Every structure is written in structure tokens, then in C-alpha cells.
Structure 1
Amino acid sequence: MFEAFNPVHILVIEDRIEDFILFKDKLHNANIPIQEIHHEFYLEKGLEALKQKEFDLIFLDLSLPDSFGVETIEKISKLAKHSSIIVLSGSTDSVLAIKTIKHGAQDYLIKDEFDEFVLSKTIRYSIERKKILRNVEENHDRYQSILKLTSDTIWDWDLRTNEFVWNEGLSTVFKYPQFRDNFHFDWFIEQINIKDRKRVLELIASKKEECEMHWEDEFHFTNANGEDVLVYARGYILMDEDDPYRMLCIMMDISERRKLQQELLNHQLKTQQLITKTVIETQESERKKLGLELHDNINQILATAKLWLDIVMNEDEFREDYLKKSFVNIDKAIEEIRKLSKSLVPPSLGDIGLEEALKELLSYVHSSVTSFHLEYNPDTINTLRNELNLVLYRIIQEQVQNILKHANASDAYIKIAIKGDMLELIVQDNGVGFCLKEKSNGLGLMSINSRVQMANGSFQIDTAPNEGCLMKIEIPITKS
């Protein structure tokens, strides 16, 4: 019994009216639910009917006044993509029948050799074949669309037939022409570098033997230009119960990515080396300045005081005068030591906060040449964490010393602001400026930059000869 389905729309293209009438009777006797039977004598008229509407079934004679043979089925199948096509022919040529199937027909009936029962079965089978074919075509189109969405190279290896298929990535990534007969699995293995080949083969074999579905590896692969590129491959094995029957693999050229990773690693290493070098040089510079300050200033003051005390011990005539001078010098030495201590470890940071520490710093470096102007918001500056206060203080201290030593500026402005989760520091002067390319490796700037990098901040400086200098620093407020 014919399975129930919706009434069908049928197109019959047959140039002999008597054949059409006989065929129409068989259709009705076949107990088929029919919505419409549309008849045309010419292929051209049939094509026009297809352009107007869609038919479920097309019965086609291959010998028409305006078309003949396989050419007829080719023309109709191009337009009737969703219709089941059944050929009606007076020819018993099996070669012709096979050709029509290859060109889009679902079945081939010889006139006067079928009855309503055969016709019913043919229609049922043809409709089901067309449904299956449409599903296959849709899946294939979907598969091809997915492949086009990726720039990766994908290959598909049928383990039972040894058929090996590549996508367009073989051409776009590895420069090989996409369609060639020798792109089989053995060819793929031959392109793997000899140092990696054995390992890859053993890996794939072990995954097949152990029925593991996933595998991945990195190896060197030769492209069409003869270049050895680094490849990352990720494979998936399809199983029929415990029998592997198909393997899919995605290959990516990671040569450039690995090169960039290595460059980044080298850059990070150089940056760390530069920071370490700067810290060491800064420490040595601080020690040198401390030594000079102790030797050339404080030591001379104390030596003079000691000399006057020696005189007092041996002579009474100038006792009172030399004692006063010694007292003044010792008091001066104490003050110099106090200043030196504050420049090394500012106690006010831990006691009264960054605000007072900066005020003290600028009062100690008061210069008749340069006037320093400090701008900040007291409500926010005193809420910063202690380690950030020290970083900020040292950076300002270093830049203030740079301005006093080199800028010959009349005014300098220090601005501290908080924008979102970033601390912004701007130090600007109207001094002589300098050529950044020539002095970018100066110890002062390197010291500032190393402190900023250790705080995960950013450092910018804008200067030129006779145009002053602007330094801008941004540091995250929260801990990283």
C-alpha cells in the first residue's frame, strides 16, 4: 500500500498526446493523491511552467520536438532542483538510462513496460530518493560553508578506503594546488620534517589502536615553496563501535605566532634586564652621591670643627671664639645629615602622608632660579596605598633634581590627579629641553622609567631643544 503523503503537483512533458492520455490513466489507477497534472508538449514550455511554480514530480520524455536525449534531462534538472524527475522513454538502452540517473533523474521507465503498481512504487521511491539527495546536498553545502569560514587547513582521511581529502586551506596556507591525485596520507606524511615524522606516525597509530578519539601535536611541515613551517595539528577519530573508520584533522601554520611569542619573550627579557641594570646603576649613583656628600660636605664641616677643638685644647687665648665656631659647624653638619637622610628615606611618608612629604621636598630644593608649583586634590592624594606613595615621591624627586641640574627653567609645574582607576602625574617645565633620542638612555630617565614599569604604569615624555619638557605618567591605583 502506498504510504500517505500530501497531494502532489505533477508536470508531464510528453509530445505524443496518445502516450500522455494512457499515462494519465495509469496515474489515476495507481491510487496516488494528485493535486494537479500539468501537461506540456515542448521542453521550452515545460521550463517556462517550472519558472512559474514548483512541481513535486516531473515525468519527462527524452525525445521532444525541441530537445533530445541526455541534453533534455540536463536542462530540466538545472531548473527543477527540488523536484523528483522520472524519465519516460521508448528506448531500452541501459547506458542511456544510467546517464539520465547521473544527470539528475531519480528513475527511468520504459513506455508500455510498466503498470500502475510499478508506477506507484517508482513514484514513492523517487520522492524518497530526492529527499535523501536534498539532505545530502544541504549537509554538503553546510559543510563547505563551515570550511570557508576558517582559514585553517582541514583534511579528511577515510581509514577504510584510504581516500584523503583536503579543503582550500591546502592552497591558501601551504600554497599547494588544491586538486591533485597524489594528495593521499602517505604524501602528507612525506611533507613532515624527518625529525618529527616518526613521532607523528607513532602518535596517530597509537590513537587508532587505543581507540582514542582526540589527538594533537606540533611538527614541521614543508609547504609548496619548500619552506619548513611549524604546524599545530588537532585530530579527531570517528568510531564505529570500537572500530576507527575516519579521521579528521585541522592544521594551523603557527610559525609567525611562535616567532612573535619568541620576540615578545625576548623583549620582556631585555626589559627585565634593563630594569635590573637601571636599578643597579641607580643604587651605585645614589651611593656615589652619598659618598661625595659625606666626603666633600659633611666630612669637611666636621674636620674644620675638629681642628678648632684641637686648637681650644692647646690654647686658651681663643677658646670661647673657637668653641662657638665648632658649635656652629657641628650644628651645620647635623642639619646636612638631616637633609641627606630625608632625601634617602623621607620619614613624612609614613608619618604625615605624601602631601607633606612633597611640600618638604620642594622646600628643601628651593632655588632662586626655578619656582615649583604643586597642584593636587588633598581628598584623594592621601588615600593612595603606601607603596604607590613611595613610587610617586621618588619619581617626583628624580625629575625635580633633573630640572634643577639641567633645565635652567624659571617655572616648573607638578600636577597629581586621579582619573578613574589611574593615577596621573604630570611634571612640566619651561626650561631648555633636550633631544630625546640623544638622552633617552640617561640615568635619570631610566630610573624613572624602571619605577613606572615596576608599578605596571606607562611613561611618556615630550621635549625638544628650547621647548621645555613635559613628562606624563599613568599608574594603576589598584594592586595588580
Structure 2
Amino acid sequence: MLKDNQPLSILIIEDNLGDFVLLEDYLHEKFETIQIFHEELFSSAISTIKSVKKIDIILLDLILPDFQREILVDKVQKHTGDIPVIILTGYTELVLARKLLSVGVSDFLIKDEINPEILYKSIIYSLERKSYIRGLKKTKKTYQDLFNLSPQPMWLYDISSLHFLDINQAAIVKYGYTFEEFRSMTIKDIRPANEVELLEDSLSQRMLNDSDRFAGFFTHVLKSGENISVEIYSSNIEYDNKLVRLVLANDVTDKLEYLKKIEAQNVKLKNIAWTQSHIVRAPLSRILGIINLLELEAFNSDDLPYLIDQVKQSGNELDKIVQNIVEETKSLNLNTFQNE
């Protein structure tokens, strides 16, 4: 029979020598490289936990001479950190089993039902569960770091009540509310009164479409009373075993003002372009017409003074149009856009 070759260090806390020997045999049957420590009392077991560098699994008898049941489990957990604890008992107590599993015990085994395979599966499951929980904690820490250190305002809110659940530092600085103030508010409280209905419609529409992700432009109100334009990105995430909404808010007030300026300048540029293509053409056409007359062989020289006067008038008219174009171009404030 093939044995599991992963190195393993196990502490068995069991006051019944016969039960310990049986467990020891089962473990040697399934594991190639295993180190087993045995203690009969809670007090001596704690000394072993503190002195041994690494313990992978604890097998704990539920009834010991110095402590028993929930009190024993509670005391052991206070000293074991994230070491998986598997409970061993001679009694089938489903209510107690559920209670202990809910407080972090890895498994609950009945002694009369234990065999090498059951014990092996319980140990492997407990080790995998420990690894998975560590991964979740690492992921949660990564999320917390990204959330708290983000330069953009971010928050979590309850989908049902719309109350703020968590707020990052950037949001606190931007909006001016303290963390405690945010926690007493809903997302409606940072909207202008005349836009609350728009918010409710947006939320209803998202629920109707069963849409997870959302992006859009809204107006928010700072604590100072100032209105800002924000671009919102939001999506559902799981937080404390509950589905909540994560929101990122990007202040685009300056950006929108900048775009308004560009649109206004574009209107002026269109007017200038129209002037160039229409108004300039009239005097220019007259000058070109006069030039054509002068080039004709049948040209009557008596008309020359009149034609010269027409050229002067057209030239002056053209000069005024060019000056107007120059003045309108100056009003565009192109240097301001370059600086921005």
C-alpha cells in the first residue's frame, strides 16, 4: 500500500493510552514521514505547542482530566493559532459537533467509527482547509490594501439599505465626512435633492437588467455643500459573507469644464471657417473679376479709374474681414488650453 510521503508533525492530546496507540498505528499506516507527539493533559499539551517549532495537526480528545468539552476546545484554540484541531470523542453529539465546527474546529470524529482511511481523509481535508483559509486571508488583505491605498475615492454600500459599509481614506478626504459620519449615511445623502429620484431610477434599472457592472456620470455633494461631477464605476463583490456594491468615484468636474471650453471654442472656429469660406469670397471675387477685365484686349482704358477704385474698396473690405478673423482668433485663448 502506498503511503503519503508529505512530512507531517501531529500532536495527539489523549489521556487513554489504548486510544492513543490505535491512532498512532493508523497514522503510521497512511503516512511515510510523520512525527507524533503525545500528551495526556491540556497543561502539558500547551507546553509542547510552545516548545515544538512546527505542529501541523492536533488530534484532541474532548474529555481530559483537567478540562472538557467547550471549555477545553476554547482554551486549546487560544494557544494554537491556525493549527487545525480535529476533535475525538466517544459520544455522538450532533448539537455539540455543530457548535464546535462553527467556532473553527476542523472536524469532529467518533472514536468507534475511526479507521485509517477516515482519519487520513480528515487530516488531508483539514490541511487543505487551512491552506484555503490562508489564501482567503491573503486575498482579503490584498483587497484591503488596494481599497485603502487607492488615490481614488472608493466605498462599499449595502444593496438593500444603501448604507455605507466601508469607506477608503481618499473618499474621506475628498468628501469631507469622517468615517463615522459616512457609516451613518446612505448613498442618497451625497446626492443633490433633485437627483435622488434619478439615483433611484438608476438603481431600479440595474436591478431589472440584473447588471453586475455599471458606469455613469452623476452629481455628488461634498460636506461643504459644493457640487462635483463624478464618473461612477461599480460592481458587486462579496464582503463579510454578503453581496455588497463596490463603487469607485472619479471627480471629473474640471474635465467637464475643460470639455465645455473646447466645445465653445469649436463653435467659434466654425464661425471663422464660415467667414473664410463665404464673406472673404465676395471681395476676392470682385478683385479677380477686375483683373480679368484688365487682361481683355478690348478693355476700355476710360474705365480704369473706376476699376481701380473698385479694387481699393474690395481690398479695404478684405482687410477688415481679415482683421476681424484675427480678433476672433485671439479670443479663442489657445494659450490657456496649452497650459492646461
- TM-score bracket relative to the smaller structure: 0.5 to 0.7
| Structure 1 unaligned regions, length at least 5 | 240-244, 262-480
1:177 is paired with a residue whose SS is: helix
Task: Please name the residue that 1:304 is paired with.
Answer: none
Task: Please name the residue that 2:38 is paired with.
Answer: 39
1:248 aligned residue (246, 249, 254): 246
Judged with a 3 Å threshold, the aligned counterparts in structure 2 of structure 1 residues 230 and 178 are, in CA distance, closer, same or farther, namely same
Shift of the alpha carbon at 1:192? 2.8
- The share of aligned pairs that are identical, in percent, is 26
Assess if the C-alpha contact under 8 Å between 2:59 and 2:86 holds in 1: yes
What pairs up with 1:153-168 in 2 under 5 angstroms? 154-156=154-156, 165-167=165-167
Separation of aligned partners in 1, 2:113 and 2:162: 43
Task: Please name the residue that 1:85 is paired with.
Answer: 85
1:92 is paired with a residue whose SS is: coil
Judged with a 3 Å threshold, the aligned counterparts in structure 2 of structure 1 residues 2 and 211 are, in CA distance, closer, same or farther, namely farther
Amino acid at match of 1:199: L
Task: Please name the residue that 1:196 is paired with.
Answer: 195
Amino acid at match of 1:13: I
What pairs up with 1:175-190 in 2 under 5 angstroms? 175=178, 177=180, 187-189=186-188
Separation of aligned partners in 1, 2:181 and 2:38: 46
Separation of aligned partners in 1, 2:172 and 2:3: 49
Assess if the C-alpha contact under 8 Å between 2:27 and 2:116 holds in 1: yes
Task: Please name the residue that 1:11 is paired with.
Answer: 11
**Bigger Rg, which one:** 1
Assess if the C-alpha contact under 8 Å between 1:200 and 1:217 holds in 2: no
Judged with a 3 Å threshold, the aligned counterparts in structure 2 of structure 1 residues 218 and 119 are, in CA distance, closer, same or farther, namely same
Assess if the C-alpha contact under 8 Å between 1:196 and 1:220 holds in 2: no
Shift of the alpha carbon at 1:203? 4.4
Deviation by residue 1:250-306 (Cα, 9 ceiling, x = unmatched): 358x7xx98xx9xxxxxxxxxxxxxxxxxxxxxxxxxxxxxxxxxxxxxxxxxxxxx
Amino acid at match of 2:18: E
The answer as to 2:141 corresponding to 1:141 is: yes
Separation of aligned partners in 2, 1:103 and 1:179: 32
Separation of aligned partners in 2, 1:2 and 1:138: 34
Shift of the alpha carbon at 1:176? 5.4
Separation of aligned partners in 2, 1:104 and 1:58: 13
Assess if the C-alpha contact under 8 Å between 1:42 and 1:64 holds in 2: yes
What pairs up with 1:33-432 in 2 under 5 angstroms? 33-51=32-50, 52-150=52-150, 154-156=154-156, 165-167=165-167, 174-175=177-178, 177=180, 187-189=186-188, 192-204=191-203, 209=209, 211=211, 213-221=213-221, 228=225, 230=227, 232=230, 234-237=232-235, 247-251=245-249
Assess if the C-alpha contact under 8 Å between 2:232 and 2:248 holds in 1: yes
Judged with a 3 Å threshold, the aligned counterparts in structure 2 of structure 1 residues 34 and 213 are, in CA distance, closer, same or farther, namely same
Judged with a 3 Å threshold, the aligned counterparts in structure 2 of structure 1 residues 84 and 97 are, in CA distance, closer, same or farther, namely same
Farther-moved stretch of structure 1 (73-82 vs 93-102): 73-82
Separation of aligned partners in 1, 2:18 and 2:161: 50
Shift of the alpha carbon at 1:108? 0.8
Shift of the alpha carbon at 1:138? 1.7
1:15 is paired with a residue whose SS is: coil
TM-score, normalised on structure 1?
0.43
Shift of the alpha carbon at 1:160? 9.8
Shift of the alpha carbon at 1:235? 2.0
Judged with a 3 Å threshold, the aligned counterparts in structure 2 of structure 1 residues 163 and 201 are, in CA distance, closer, same or farther, namely closer
Task: Please name the residue that 2:266 is paired with.
Answer: none
Judged with a 3 Å threshold, the aligned counterparts in structure 2 of structure 1 residues 61 and 164 are, in CA distance, closer, same or farther, namely farther
Separation of aligned partners in 2, 1:161 and 1:55: 45
Amino acid at match of 2:32: P
Separation of aligned partners in 2, 1:200 and 1:2: 63
1:144 is paired with a residue whose SS is: helix
1:27 is paired with a residue whose SS is: helix
Separation of aligned partners in 2, 1:160 and 1:66: 49
Amino acid at match of 2:234: Y
Amino acid at match of 2:46: L
Amino acid at match of 2:192: N
Separation of aligned partners in 2, 1:165 and 1:127: 33
Separation of aligned partners in 2, 1:64 and 1:3: 31
Judged with a 3 Å threshold, the aligned counterparts in structure 2 of structure 1 residues 103 and 189 are, in CA distance, closer, same or farther, namely same
Shift of the alpha carbon at 1:85? 1.6
Amino acid at match of 2:95: V
Shift of the alpha carbon at 1:112? 1.6
Separation of aligned partners in 1, 2:245 and 2:4: 41
Separation of aligned partners in 1, 2:32 and 2:160: 44
Task: Please name the residue that 1:440 is paired with.
Answer: none
Separation of aligned partners in 2, 1:236 and 1:124: 39
Shift of the alpha carbon at 1:153? 5.4
Separation of aligned partners in 1, 2:133 and 2:31: 22
Deviation by residue 1:183-239 (Cα, 9 ceiling, x = unmatched): 7xxx4335533222233344455567495845243433476xxx6464646323259
Separation of aligned partners in 2, 1:179 and 1:32: 54
Judged with a 3 Å threshold, the aligned counterparts in structure 2 of structure 1 residues 3 and 26 are, in CA distance, closer, same or farther, namely closer
Judged with a 3 Å threshold, the aligned counterparts in structure 2 of structure 1 residues 141 and 5 are, in CA distance, closer, same or farther, namely farther
Separation of aligned partners in 2, 1:75 and 1:155: 38
Separation of aligned partners in 2, 1:163 and 1:132: 31
